Amino acid sequence: MGKREHIYKIIAENIRKERRRLGITQAELAERADVSLDTIKSVENGRRAMSLDTYLNIVHALESSPMVLMSQQHP
């Protein structure tokens, strides 16, 4: 796995953890982030890289910060 793919995997796992911590579904996150459900599913499964705008929309919807979702130390 390359460095980029490793970072995408960390972000995907952290998005999933934050969504579950908030107790919301993928559909609810998609609505809050103004993206499609397929986008959320693909991002969480590591099948899709996302644009910066999409990433920031998801970060905002999760009431988090960009650096928290990139951290390997995420709780």
Nearest alpha carbon to residue 14 among 47, 52, 57, 58: 58
pLDDT confidence band for 74 (50 / 70 / 90): low
Taking the C-alpha atoms of residue 75 and residue 62, their distance in angstroms, rounded to an integer, is: 15
pTM of the model: 0.89
pLDDT confidence band for 75 (50 / 70 / 90): low
Taking the C-alpha atoms of residue 73 and residue 48, their distance in angstroms, rounded to an integer, is: 22
Domains of the chain in sequence order: 3-70 (1.10.260.40)
pLDDT confidence band for 5 (50 / 70 / 90): confident
pLDDT confidence band for 44 (50 / 70 / 90): very high
Check residue 3 and give its pLDDT.
85
